[in-house]
Each structure stands twice: as C-alpha cells, then as structure tokens.
Chains A and B, each alone.
Chain A
C-alpha cells in the first residue's frame, strides 16, 4: 500500500481522554495552519462528561477552503488506549498512525496498510519532568512539536501562538517552547517526514476563526439585548457565557462601573423564558439561550408571546434528541418543535444561520425582528456551529444602523389623542401598536393576557372577535415573510431539473458536495433557506424543478415536513436526505445519498437510510 501523499489537503484526528489538557494543544495545531494561510475545518467530538471519557478532535486541512467535515481520517493521533482499536480501524488505507511508543505493542495492534509513527512521549516526559501534572500537560505540547516536524508546519508559527496564549506568563511560554522543540527534535533525529505536508499559502484572507455561540452572544450585544435569563444546558451554555463576557467588556458604564445589562441564571428554562417575556413586555430587549429540552419546557410561554404579542428571542443550539438524547452531538431536530411551539394554532419566526458569521448577523437582527413583529424569534444554531470554531467572514457593523424598536406609541402621541388599540391593525400589516408600562398617567394602559380579547385588549370570548384576531396574526406572519433573511439560490453551471434545499450547518458540506457533483457532471440547483416563514421563492424553486432533495440533519425530515405543510407541496417531489447519527454531515454523505437517489436503479433515500461507517 502506497502511503498517502497530499499537500494542504488531509484530515488529522486526535483521540484523547477528556480532562487531559489536550484541547488547547489540539486547537493550537489547527490554528498553526491558519497562520500559514491554509484554511482548516475543525470539529470537537466530545462526551457529556468532564474527565476520563474519550474525546476526539478532527482537523481537516483544506487549501480549497471546504468548511464541512470530509469524512475519513488520513492521520490518527492515537493518545487514548481505551479507543485504540476503533481509532486504528478508522484510518484510511495508506494513512498514518501517530502514537506514544513508550510501551511496545504487539503487531496485532497495528495494520499492514498504514504507516506507523511512534514517538516515546511518556518516556520523554518522565525524563524531563517530575511533577505528574506537568508530565501530562507537556506531553500534549511535545506531540504538537513532533507533528509540526512530521507535517512541515512552521515551528515559529506555533511559538508565536504559544506566546499569545500565555501572554504575560514568560515562564510558561519558555517551558512550552522547550517542550515543542523536544518533540520536533526527536522527529528530526529519528524519523522521516510524512507524505502529508503543510505548505504556506494565502487562502485564509481576513477571515476570523470563531465559535458560533460566541458570535451569537456578540450579536445579542449588538442587537441591543439588555436582559439575558438562561439555564445552563449543553450546547448553549457558552452562548450566555459569551454574552456575559462581552457585556462586562463593552456594556459597563465607564463613569459608574455599573452594568448596562442584567443577566440572571434562572432556576429552569421555564423561568428563563418567563423573565424574557416579562422584560420584553416592559420594553427591554431580552433573550434566552437553550437547547431541545429547554424548547420543550418553554412551549407555554412561547404561546403566550405569540398570542399576547410580546417580543422575545430564543437561541436554540440544537443537539441530538429526543429526550436527553445525545447532549454533546449535533442535530437539526428542533425545527418543528420551534416552528409550531405551544398548544393551539401557533407559528413562529425562525432564523437559520449557517456559520458563526451569520450567527452574529442574525443574532443582532433577531432583536429588531422581535420588536418589529412583537413575538418570539428563534435563532436556530446547532452544536456543530455553536461549539466548534469556524473560519468565517469578519464581524462587521454599520455604525449608522439604528435599533428598530417597532411600533411603540409614545407619551406625546397618546397625549395628542391618537387612538390606541393594543390589538388594532392600523396599518394592514397585522402589527398593532404597543405601549411600554408607565408611559402616560391616564392613556395607553392596558391589560395583557393570554386569553382572547378584542382589538382594545378587552376580554372577549366572542367567536368573530377571536377569529378576527387570529386572522390578524396570520397577516402579521405574512409580514414576517418579507423581514426574515431571504433564501440564497445558487444555480448549477448547466440547466437542470434537479434541485436541493438545505439550511444551517449543512451548508458547509453542501457547498463542497455541489462542487464535487458538478465535477462529476451532475448538475443540481441549490437553495439555502435562511428564515421561516418561507419566502415565496422557496415554493417557486420547488415548482421549477422535477425533483428536489431536502438535505438536513434529523431522522424525520423536519424541514421537508415544514415545507410540505406550509406550501402544500406534493411529498413525492421532495426527496429526503437525512443524516442524524450526531456527527456533522459530510459532502461524502450528501454526494453518496443524492447519487443513489439520482441513479434510477437505487431505492430512494427515504426508504434507505444511509449512514456513515465508523463514526
């Protein structure tokens, strides 16, 4: 078997034990490529546990700039004896196995068709360090140094990253640099470079490398959110924590040192959304961050927000469901429960970011939309976007942009005698005016309730009054159609009657899949939906094609269901391509599944669920 050879196009996977301090070393490995101008796509695959269980980190080095997972592993850095067998099995034929060769292993533990690279990491650590914690931590830096030498990563780049990471702690910088060289020197003295090589390029540009949760938390700051009520839940926790950190930095009154924000860790998700609704009712921009189980708990309040028309923003960082499901794995499986949250007839606005850059933009936009539409806006992230660092467009803000507070009747307008009906559709767009509590001594006060009421907010159980009101809510939803981000259509190089619809984190793998298919002469027009309610273009797109794939990351084809239901689309026209094992979808999976469906002999993917091996 010929060893794999590739420059700036390979996958390295790290198998570690969590809690061993490997995360920062692995992240530094990934970042060293970025500093050399070579894009990477990295994914954490981690357990719901703090210490002792297997964890993986996968780095796709990709000069072509693909942001999705590729699938397959060219080089395994096997640092966890617990998962050795499956880690070794996952390596592509011709690939490489990097391991700690301190303790000899029998030949049965290896494979004939791979190149084995052994570095006696434990022995080197034991000789150099006496403190057990140091032995553990520096082992990570040593293997990064060894990998740098094996893969031709510029060592100066890693030294610079270490200097930044430990800025101000000179002793730590020096110790880490020494460990780094210890690993590199061992390789230079004892081993030959591999067929996988890094080479300086200029393909990163001004892009930034950031997690979606952090970007969304920043978006909430720029969106003018002042109240955050949340309850810790993986994978959304770091969103609220990022907001907290950014607020501390950017929202502290420079004169008094006081906070221009209020963040409350609530007792549960119900209280979180309750506080958000209370703050929204009272004219502050408020949000919560949660995941699937939280969405289930918040249903009643979301219905109240819909019916009583109170602004709220929910960031849903989706994870594997149902129930506790796979808390540290990714899925897009809350779309239906968010779109139709709560009992009774309800529909909610969803924003569907595809990467951290859009998490920031839509995170900020959500607050304008919630004030404008006076209802709950869901921003649907997932674990893949939320908790992994992605290469994304730099954050940008137009300083002339003003926060859109929506239709709020002021003291002066009330004083001038303007008619105020809290649920009165004065403009024909379904959106009524509201007043903030405490605005005017005698005018504009009203009673907010989840029961039916007339346009002047008076309790009513009259059928016609109820129907008028819920019809107006539909008009408002129609207005929302023009306010949510428009879908993005991308046509193939040649005319085709085949289309594909997808959203969110699937976008990265889809971009690559479309390129691959086009290179194979398979032409597919693509549409990425970015908001719900769906724009008319989505249904026009479906009408213009004979077959439309709907690619998403859940078992039941939730986006497909939503499209069929909202657009009255013939189910036969929409072919589901579903990936739901908890790992991020790959281009290989998409091209495989769509290829099967496109060839006439194969059964449709609806019946034949394709799963990736060895996940």
Chain B
C-alpha cells in the first residue's frame, strides 16, 4: 500500500468535469494487487463514478477493513481521507465517523471475508441502523491475502484451487442486506463496468444505507473451473434484472426504451434512477418480491445483478437520532458546555 505515488502529470487531452477536475484527480496510488484483479476494476469504476458525479474528492471519507479489497481505498480518491481500520470492523468505524460529521460522503469498501465472516455482525448492524453510506463488498469468495481459503460467501459445492470442495452453505450478502432493511441494494460484477459505474453513482447519491455486492474474481485463487466466483462462471450465469441510467438533477432525462419497459425513481437528493427493465415484472421498489425473485433465481444457479431494490424515501441514522444539522464535530464550546450556572442548580438537587 502506498508504495508508489503516481506522478501528478495531466494529459492535456483529459476532459475536466463540472468541478474542473479530470479523471486523474480522482485516482490514488498505484495498485499493489495482482495484475488482472477484479478489485482494480472496481477501483476504476469508483473513480469514474466520482468523476462523473463531480464529487469534491476531499468531501468523501473512504473506510475499509483488512484484506485485499480493504487495501483498495489507497488506489482511488487520493485527496480523500482514508481509514484502513481493523479486520471486520469497518462498519462501526464508519458509523462513528458518520455520527461525527453528517456532511461528508461515506464510502465503505470491504471484502467477503471482512464482511461475511469476521465482520458479519458489524455489517448487519450498520445496515439495519441505516447509516448513510455506500457499502461495497468486493466479493471473490476467497481469502486472497492469506492464499486461498474459502470465505463465507463461497458457494456450497464449489471447489478451491487446491481441489477442496466447500461443504458449508454460502452467505448471500444481498439477501441479508434486503432482509435487514438496506434501502439500496445492488449486485454487479467487476467485469461489467457499464453496469457498475451507474450503480455506484446512484449508491453515492442515495441518502441511506446503500449496499453493492460486487462479484470480483480472484485471478490467483478463485478463477478456476469448479469456482462459482470465476470470470467464466459469472459471465455464464449473470442475469441482469435491469440496466441503470443515473441522472443528476440538472440533466435532462432521455428515455429511449420501448414504452412500458422503464421505471423512473427519484431519490431524496433529486437524482433520478432511470431503470430499463430486463426481467419481466421485476419491480426494484418492492422489497418482498425482490427477495422472492432472488431466492428463485439463486436456486436455478443464476447470479442476479442490477439494482435489486431501492427505497426512494430512505431515512438514515441521523434522522432516527434527530441530530442537529450542524456536524457534531463543528459544534462550539458554547453549544456543548452547559456552564457553571447549570451545575449550581444541579448541586442543589443533590443535597
């Protein structure tokens, strides 16, 4: 991590975004992951999404746990504060950070070991609290950094590189997130940038707990025949329920789909999700039927991707706690300390 910083030279041909920043301004250090790693594609998608959204990089806080996936925040948004926390505990740290300053955009990056094994509890509780965040699990079904052990998202019956067959049931994080009340749930594939970038943009704009399960094959330890998280397997079994066109408030909405095949969903911040339906009758605003659909397709061995669920009226933890609009880390002494007069009164009541 941070072995090499990229030179800050800009190619003259790079196009600036609404903030006058180029895509280059959203990059980070040179990745130290294996060449061809799915995680690097996800980093690239995050960079693209932040660039297209005109996000000021320093207004994003990126947090992660431990593992290959959790190293990646070093490789994007170099001007942002980042926090590589401890294994499986990023959700609590992100929650605390969010409580301290509600004005920043929180991006949590985790892996399947980090979120489905050691950190399963924290993942669950951060989701159910409705922390306003984008939570991306870079899901490769394997422990890469310790060289190839199964993770809790490895499918039952799938084979490790060493030929061992997994006999434990898999945790499907998407189903769990839906059950726990995440207000934005998506699944994508690191090899499908066209699908992933708009999903990340929509998630970053979502004002609640947004979860993206991104299948990201491990080319070293989980990209062989018998794996259900390999590039080939996912390409063969990917069933996208929709394609998403993310539209920020200032843009005009163009609908060029056949009538009746697209849905427009307006989020709190005014952004519009223009969804082109691929699966018939799939309604991404209906949580119960989304769960049923997922379970059915999963039983058929399909990997359902796309925006699976969104609640445009999402609320977040701060609304639940009724905190002031001013970030808590910016409150003044006068707003925090009741003073000596209050103590005098309190003392009198304790005699």
Contacts and interface: CB of A to CB of B under 8 A. Distances in A.
A283 B85 contact: no
Contact of B83 (A229, A273, A397, A448): A448
Interface string A261-284: 111101110111111111111111
A227 B82 contact: no
Contact of B321 (A204, A263, A282, A459): A263
A259 B324 contact: yes
Interface stretch (B156-164, B277-285, B334-342): B334-342
B56 A441 contact: yes
A274 B98 CA distance: 12
Interface stretch (B41-49, B72-80, B141-149, B298-306): B72-80
B57 A441 contact: yes
B314 interface: no
B101 A282 contact: yes
B236 interface: no
Contact of B80 (A208, A257, A259, A445): A445
B121 to A, nearest CB: 6
Contacts of A396: 340, 343
Interface stretch (A218-226, A517-525, A527-535): A218-226
Contacts of A304: 85-86
A447 B338 contact: no
Nearest to B328: A226
Interface in A295-314: 300-301, 304
B100 interface: yes
A166 interface: no
B59 A438 contact: yes
B325 interface: yes
Interface in B81-105: 81-86, 89, 91-101, 103-104
A403 interface: yes
B84 A281 contact: no
Nearest to A458: B2
Interface stretch (A10-18, A248-256, A347-355, A565-573): A248-256
A138 to B, nearest CB: 26
B122 A274 contact: yes
Interface string A425-441: 00000000001111111
Interface residues of B, number: 62
Contact of B351 (A34, A257, A273, A448): A34
Given A438-B103, A449-B84, A274 B57 contact: no
B237 interface: no
A459 B2 contact: yes
A280 B73 CA distance: 20
Contacts of B74: 447, 459
Nearest to B21: A441
Nearest to B325: A258
Contacts of A264: 95, 99, 129, 317, 321
Nearest to B101: A282
A549 interface: no
Interface string A393-422: 011111100110000000000000000000
Nearest to A456: B2
Contacts of B73: 447
A585 B346 CA distance: 30
A266 B92 contact: yes
Interface in B261-289: none
A259 B58 CA distance: 27
A209 B351 CA distance: 6
A260 B97 contact: no
Interface in A180-216: 204, 206-210
A442 interface: yes
* Residue of B86, B323, B324, B340 with most partner-chain A CB within 10 A: B324
Contact of A438 (B89, B99, B104): B104
B321 A268 contact: no
24 contacts: A209-B351, A221-B336, A258-B322, A259-B322, A260-B331, A264-B317, A264-B321, A266-B125, A271-B89, A278-B95, A279-B97, A282-B329, A284-B101, A300-B86, A395-B343, A436-B101, A437-B58, A441-B57, A445-B58, A447-B73, A447-B74, A448-B82, A449-B1, A450-B86
**The 5 A-B residue pairs with the shortest CB-CB distance in the complex, in nearest-first order:** A278-B96, A274-B92, A284-B100, A275-B96, A437-B81
